[in-house]
Structure 1
Amino acid sequence: MPTASAARVNPTPLVEIARHCIFPDDIAFTRYYELIAPELPGMGVTLDRWQQDIWELALGLRDDGSLCCDVMGVTLSIARQAGKTWGIMAGLIAICLARPGTTVVWSSHHDRTSSETLGKIASIVEKPAIRPKMRAQFPVVYTDDSRGVHFANGSRILFGARAAGFGRGFSEVDIQVYDECQNLKEAALTDMLAAMNVSDIGLAFFMGTPPRPVEARQGVDEAFKRRRKRAVELDRRRPFKGVFVEFSADRDAPLDLDSDEFWEHLAKANPSYGYRVGKSAIERLVENMSPEDVMREVMGIWDETQKLEAVIPAALWNDLVDAGPEDGTAPTAMAVDASHDGVLVAAGCWRVESASHLEVLAIDDWSDDDAAADWIAERAGRRIVVFIDSASPAARLIPLLKSRRVKVASGSAGDMSRACGGFFSATTNGSVTHDGHPVVGDALEGATKRKIGDAGGWGWDRRDPETNIAPLVAITLAHYAASLDTKPTRSGRTSEGRRAVVS
């Protein structure tokens, strides 16, 4: 970690050089000047302006004093040799010095990376300016569960590899850093975030380079990819309660080291080039990587296959809009799902020969669960199956519907996998139509997959409370329930099931 002179510092503000710089619009003030700025001179460290800006945003507070990025944390998609680790490391040391008893957990995917990062931070804290502020004996521990750096005031920065199970079992962690975030599964993230301390900081960093195709195929990039999608998507109806920064070159950047254009593009991807990083460091990377890896890890460019595409593209879904059966025709099957906040959605499927038609029938148009059960029972009668996933918040309706003698079916994870597989197949082969309800289109735009089992099965991922996929789940399950019924809809079979009620 160099102690750069002012002449080597990049003075350009973050917003002027990052491809994406997204942050909460309710930042009233920042703790940077309380926790970090006063410590840097004594550490002999000068941050680049863009590194300082990241910390100012990361420690941004609302008017009420709460952390602005308390939900999504700070995500950094920045190429190698750009100084992202250096800048975050310097800030963490400063916070640990300024705030006694701070616990930081820094996890990498590989143990080798974890050891290398520990070695870098050890070289900093052992400098004469900082060493007196470290624990007298064993300030740096290279083995066991205490591997990391330990400060005299009780603060500590612990390091480990997620592949070896590091990060689980901790409690009251103030700051978590997820390095190599392109190798971070959502399940591992969920386990580790549970250790986050409800303190005056509670900060999480997600850092990495664009994922490789193998990481995308294995689904280990899901946490990183989802954060990027939430940040840069055009739909701003849901505020992104976090910070997202991406440095990257243009997609048509040349890879010829002898070309001036290469270095011009590199400057877009690497804010340290020309300041802290010279040509030789970049040439060393490029000469020892494949062209594809250079694009991702040196130029910071996300693969075309990593574009923010829906599981079912909007163009395909929109092509399937159709009027469907005549009004008054009873559905073959129905399904009910609910959002995280309990809003119920009812959907119907009309199956005619080998084709199906799907519609949203109602969304939260009831005063209470009994009213919802009455509405569903009136339309389903005793013959039409109403499918409800047993893991859904809508499962609370199952006993109410059964008491009304409705033919209720509830499913397991295996049923959800089969339902999603069948729904996806029907949309791609054109054997299903729908009424074009906008709530389903919105759900499809933000919907992602979650793995079910070990044979390639998947289900719609409900874990993001800010993405309401209940309408999508409802029509998916209605389609599945109709496939279990061997009797297609007959024109003479009628009810009020088709009448849509949407609040």
Structure 2
Amino acid sequence: MMLTVDGAARLVVPEGCHSTQEPSLNALANAAGDMMDSWQRQINRIALASTDEGMWAARNVVMSIPRQTGKTYDVEWIAIHRAATIPRIRIVWTAQHFSVLHDTFEDMCSRAARHEMSTLVDPEHGFSLAAGKEEIRFRNGSRIFFRARERGALRGFKNIGLLVIDEAQILSDAAKASMLPTQNRAWNPQTFYMGTPPGPRDMGESFTRQRTQALAGRAHSVLYVEFSADRDADPLDREQWRKANPSYPTHTSDEAIGELHDQLTEDDFRREALGIWDEHSTTAAIDQTKWDEATVDRRRAGGLPAFGLDMNPERTRLTIGACMRYEDDTAHIELAEYRDTRRDGTMWAVNLLAKAWDNASAVVIDEQSPATSLLPELNNAGIQVTVTRSTDMGRACGRLQDMLRDGTLTHLPEDGQHQLWHAVRKATIRPIGKSGMFGWNRPDDDTDISPLVACTLALHGAMTSQRDPTRQQEAWY
């Protein structure tokens, strides 16, 4: 089998491809009046390849392809073909937003309702149009369900043979974890992930991790396909449009891409229309090796303490991070306190910081943190809080990485500090402005990075504050 995709910037092909159902898929689409482009047929040839045992060679198909190329059109036919050829298979198509999902549902209905498809789909009873219960039913008992992730997605579903995940760049780990078990009892299941490079506001760690693992050769039974322009591409260069969009200019016009350019920011256009991934998108926030090397059994005596305060977006966890700065400009960070606000409230943090303030160089909160709600109480307690802005956070995160790299920062072992270690392992980075600055970013709704943020703020306060407490003592709080 020829296993190439013309024009793909990156391609990872699974091992064991023996035969493929692509000719059968192409024949069905042709019979219904649709034609596939060569690049679509090439992707389908690999995506629908089986091993010599009859299992899908690509258990997971991951596609990073710009908007307005025809990738949805292609996978729509894959879902229709799968339903038509495997009796009683259950297929689920998901997207984050209902509006996107509904457009796909209407498009697939228009194909399945054609006269040429009447032997496969009953034109009168084959479609459920009820909002939130959209479905296409085939005469052989197969069904294609359409569910929006923002509405709870797959509650109650099981035995899903094909799962199509659209808008994969905003698929959270929590949503993914709730969907994949629906395939546990299905025979030879397959999952398709379709998306564009995630932006800094997207919960894109899952999609990013799949790309990273595929390109590093650590993914098994995966087909990864990426179309993109060059990283330094001129956004108005038509040759770069052609490189990123295999349907340009045959099916996607100058006007269509030009409209995207006019409506999107330059960064969003690079992701959505040119398929260019952010430089930091595949980079873990903190080098785990450097973090491990910075571990010490106990902090050194002496030094001047500073504190950082942060709260998760859900306002359920409140964290105090601590940093000890030494005369040689080295520093040590620790997770000082981490509590559930639903059980303990928030005043405990004010009380602890009030006791420590006389001996501290700084107490720091970021202006975007929910913990700013405590500013009045902290001020009333006589604490002069330093409120950081985005550029301060960018410098603080960069300083933490630099000190880890240079061996001038230490921290405690994971035992007793596991919330901080978990945040370090999970945190990604988000660009701040265009100067190379970045901040910590949580990869999904279930990850709490406030311990890392609080310690980073404490480090910032320790290294920048000019406050000199009148007396010092060993205890921090």
State the TM-score, normalizing by the size of structure 2.
0.62
Match of 2:97 in 1: 110
Q: Note if contact 1:451-1:457 (Cα within 8 Å) is conserved in structure 2.
A: no
2:404 is aligned with 1:427? yes
1:274 to 223, 231, 249: 249
Q: How many residues align?
A: 333
1:23 to 13, 16, 38: 13
2:229 is aligned with 1:249? yes
Distance 1:197 1:51, change over 3 A: farther
1:388-424, CA deviations, whole angstroms, 9 ceiling, x for partnerless residues?
xxxxxxxxxxxxxxxxxxxxxxxxxxxxxxxxx9x98
Measure, in 2, the Cα distance between the counterparts of 1:452 and 1:184: 10
1:290-314, CA deviations, whole angstroms, 9 ceiling, x for partnerless residues?
22211111101112231x2233237
Measure, in 1, the Cα distance between the counterparts of 2:190 and 2:234: 38
1:169 to 140, 144, 156: 156
Q: Note if contact 2:12-2:223 (Cα within 8 Å) is conserved in structure 1.
A: yes
1:431-481, CA deviations, whole angstroms, 9 ceiling, x for partnerless residues?
2399xxxxxxxx99x95447697863379xxxxxxxxxxxxxxxxxxxxxx
Output the amino acid matched with 2:226: E
Q: Note if contact 1:141-1:149 (Cα within 8 Å) is conserved in structure 2.
A: yes
SS at match of 2:192: strand
Output the amino acid matched with 1:431: L
Q: Note if contact 1:136-1:152 (Cα within 8 Å) is conserved in structure 2.
A: no
Match of 1:232 in 2: 215
Q: Note if contact 2:15-2:221 (Cα within 8 Å) is conserved in structure 1.
A: no
Measure, in 2, the Cα distance between the counterparts of 1:190 and 1:170: 14
SS at match of 1:54: helix
Cα distance, 1:354 vs. partner? 7.1
2:449 is aligned with 1:456? yes
Match of 2:109 in 1: 122
1:8-38, CA deviations, whole angstroms, 9 ceiling, x for partnerless residues?
xxxx9853310111121222222334x5244
Match of 1:4 in 2: none
Cα distance, 1:270 vs. partner? 0.3
Measure, in 2, the Cα distance between the counterparts of 1:312 and 1:68: 34
Measure, in 2, the Cα distance between the counterparts of 1:193 and 1:452: 17
Q: Note if contact 1:75-1:206 (Cα within 8 Å) is conserved in structure 2.
A: yes
1:317 to 287, 290, 311: 290
Distance 1:69 1:168, change over 3 A: farther
Cα distance, 1:245 vs. partner? 0.7
Match of 1:305 in 2: 280
1:346-382, CA deviations, whole angstroms, 9 ceiling, x for partnerless residues?
x984655479xxxxxxxxxxxxxxxxxxxxxxxxxxx
Measure, in 2, the Cα distance between the counterparts of 1:60 and 1:111: 31
SS at match of 1:244: strand
Overall identity of the aligned pairs, in %:
28
2:25 is aligned with 1:52? no
2:82 is aligned with 1:99? no
1:275-324, CA deviations, whole angstroms, 9 ceiling, x for partnerless residues?
22222221222222222211111101112231x2233237x829x969xx
Query: Aligned runs of 1:362-381 on 2, under 5 Å?
Result: none
Cα distance, 1:61 vs. partner? 2.3
SS at match of 2:83: helix
Measure, in 2, the Cα distance between the counterparts of 1:96 and 1:211: 30
Query: Aligned runs of 1:337-376 on 2, under 5 Å?
Result: 349=297, 352-353=300-301
Which range is displaced more, 82-91 or 194-203? Answer: 194-203
Measure, in 2, the Cα distance between the counterparts of 1:96 and 1:452: 33
1:70-118, CA deviations, whole angstroms, 9 ceiling, x for partnerless residues?
2xx1111110111100111112212212222122100110110011111
Measure, in 1, the Cα distance between the counterparts of 2:285 and 2:92: 34
Distance 1:14 1:317, change over 3 A: same
Distance 1:321 1:204, change over 3 A: closer
Distance 1:452 1:296, change over 3 A: closer
Computed over aligned residues only, the root mean square deviation of the Cα atoms, in angstroms, reads 3.4
2:199 is aligned with 1:221? no
Q: Unmatched 5+ residue regions in structure 1? A: 1-11, 257-261, 323-346, 356-420, 435-442, 460-485, 488-503
Query: Aligned runs of 1:433-448 on 2, under 5 Å?
Result: 448=426
Measure, in 2, the Cα distance between the counterparts of 1:50 and 1:208: 17
Output the amino acid matched with 1:456: I
Distance 1:17 1:456, change over 3 A: same
Output the amino acid matched with 2:247: S
Q: Unmatched 5+ residue regions in structure 2? A: 304-396, 413-420, 428-442, 453-473
State the TM-score, normalizing by the size of structure 1.
0.59
SS at match of 2:62: strand
